[in-house]
């Protein structure tokens, strides 16, 4: 019987997940459909009941439901529990199990670049995204992580939880050349021409990542590139979080490089940004 999958969010019409998963289902000869469903916060519980009733095989959860979904699940995996947020659900025998593939998706994306796990890595930001990424980086063996954030207290709390260091923004800015890898996790650059911190002291040998993928090149990445750094945008994280979800549902590891290229083209770029 044909299987069905979905992504729920508010808003949802611009999601690229249906394109991505439908492409992979077709490529692997899997008889399944993946649909975007607009669910408002007040409808979340009803949406879960309905999807279960209608025999959904799995779904993704995007903003603003990643936390509110937790009490509606039958089971939660450790990563989702630590992050207190769910982006992927698998239905097995009518039971819904929640996962979070965002942090691991970022790490997979980063590892396709020449990065050294022993060398100093800076995470900018201390919100939900930074949390998932910091835990995933630690799990993956990155051993020298520093966190900085506009609100220092949040950086300190996250650093304490992940066994990392925390520094104030001014200190991170002054010592930027010491970081071999820099990861930008805030929303700065999404809608405005601004930087989360000054890149004056950035060296030319760093790998600089931004989790934003629309625009493909944030002002932060543009400046890092101009300084000679190797840069990566958030397309790789987006595709890899989807690939890990797809693998949980089907057992198949899809082609992420081809999908990064396709999504980049959809977003107006003509080549992979590296």
Which residues are known catalytic residues?
66
Nearest approach in angstroms of CB 125 to ligand ATR is 4
DSSP annotation of 28:
T
Question: In this chain, which of 129, 136, 158, 167 binds ligand ATR, going by CB under 6 A?
Answer: 129
By CB under 6 A, residue 18 contacts ligand ATR = no
Instruction: Please compute Rg for the chain using Cα positions.
Output: 19
Nearer of residues 20 and 85 to ligand ATR, judged by Cβ: 85
Question: In this chain, which of 3, 23, 154, 222 binds ligand ATR, going by CB under 6 A?
Answer: 154
**Of the listed pieces 19-27, 33-41, 119-127, 266-274, which binds ligand ATR according to CB under 6 A?**
119-127
By CB under 6 A, residue 58 contacts ligand ATR = no
Nearest approach in angstroms of CB 153 to ligand ATR is 8
Nearest approach in angstroms of CB 32 to ligand ATR is 29
Question: 3-state SS of the chain: helix, strand, coil percent to 5?
Answer: 40, 20, 40
Nearest approach in angstroms of CB 220 to ligand ATR is 11
By CB under 6 A, residue 125 contacts ligand ATR = yes
205/218 Cα distance (integer angstroms): 19
Give the interface with ligand ATR as residue ranges (CB under 6 A): 125-130, 149-151, 154, 185-188, 196
């Amino acid at each position: 019987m044909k299987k069905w999958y979905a992504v729920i969010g508010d808003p949802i019409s611009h999601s690229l997940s249906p394109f991505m998963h439908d492409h992979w289902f077709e490529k692997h000869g899997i008889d399944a459909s993946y649909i975007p469903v607009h669910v408002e916060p007040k409808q979340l519980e009803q949406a879960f009941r309905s999807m279960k009733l209608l025999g959904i095989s799995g779904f993704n959860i995007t903003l603003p439901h990643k936390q509110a979904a937790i009490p509606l699940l039958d089971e939660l995996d450790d990563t989702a529990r630590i992050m207190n947020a769910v982006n992927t659900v698998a239905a097995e025998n009518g039971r819904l199990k929640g996962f979070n593939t965002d942090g691991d998706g970022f790490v997979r994306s980063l590892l396709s670049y020449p990065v050294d796990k022993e060398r100093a890595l800076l995470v900018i930001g201390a919100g939900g995204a930074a949390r998932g990424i910091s835990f995933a980086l630690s799990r993956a063996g990155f051993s020298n992580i520093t966190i900085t954030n506009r609100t220092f207290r949040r950086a300190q709390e996250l650093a304490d939880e992940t066994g990392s260091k925390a520094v104030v923004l001014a200190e991170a800015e002054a010592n930027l050349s010491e970081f071999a890898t820099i990861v930008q996790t805030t929303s700065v650059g999404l809608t405005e021409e601004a930087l989360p911190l000054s890149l004056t002291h950035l060296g030319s040998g760093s790998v600089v990542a931004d989790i934003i993928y629309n625009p493909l090149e944030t002002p932060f990445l543009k400046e890092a590139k101009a300084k000679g750094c190797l840069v990566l945008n958030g397309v790789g994280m987006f595709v890899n979080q989807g690939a890990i979800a797809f693998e949980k549902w089907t057992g198949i590891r899809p082609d992420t490089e081809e999908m990064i290229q396709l999504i980049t083209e959809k977003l107006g770029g003509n080549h992979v940004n590296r």
